[in-house]
Amino acid sequence: MEALTNYHSDDEGSESAVDESARLHLKSDVSIDAMKSALAIDSAPKIESKREIVKVIPVDVSSKEVTYNPKYEELEAPKVGPDNPFLTKLQSATKNTLSGYVETAHVNDFLFESQRRTFSSYGYAIDPSFENQHGNYVGDVEKAMETDGLTVFEKGRTKPEKRKREARGEAGDLENFKGPWAPFEDELKIAVPSEEEQEIGRA
């Protein structure tokens, strides 16, 4: 046994310094307890985690789920990797659609439809960028202040005045009868240019 412990290969000089613990079982004067303690296998050795080696772990931007609790520095850290030098600032921005970044939001159908119809009918609507704040309008703000921001579904809205037409005349009077085609009272009619305007046009 002792001869085997002193045996080594002359051809391989790097293997001459063999660990003593690896040859401990070949010695005759070693107790079994010492061999157990020296050759014991640790089933759960202490290893360095990735977080201890890398202080800031990059977060994948395309991932929709994070399986650990990252720090603020990790979430707000710049992107890792080369940038495309041919992309503009708008093209390199984070977006989930072709036109930009869209966030999910809850919108009440009735409120949205009332504001849409109010804007298309009366030219103003509540500014959606101000939440729970009245008095902020887009469009015709003066008209909104006059009507106190009433929508098309609320009472108090006066219908717009209809344009009045000239008298239709009698059906028996063929020359002066206008019928339902009577022009409006405030309608601008095309007039023949005056003599001065005609001279200016000729010159």
Give the model confidence (pLDDT) of 179-193 as tens digits. Answer: 888 888 877 777 777
DSSP state of 125: E
Average pLDDT over residues 27-56: 71
Looking at residue 143, its pLDDT comes to: 87
Which run of H or of E encompasses 110?
A: helix 109-122
Q: What is the 3-state secondary structure (H, E, C) of 47-76?
A: CCCHHHHCCCCCCCCCCCCCCCCCCHHHHC
For the stretch 98-118, pLDDT in tens is 888 888 878 889 989 999 999
pLDDT of residue 55: 67
Q: Are 148 and 126 in contact (CB under 8 A)?
A: no
**Whole-structure pTM value:** 0.33
What mean pLDDT comes out for the span 156-178? Answer: 76
Looking at the predicted structure, is the pLDDT value of residue 25 above 60?
no
- Cβ-contact 140, 122 below 8 angstroms: yes
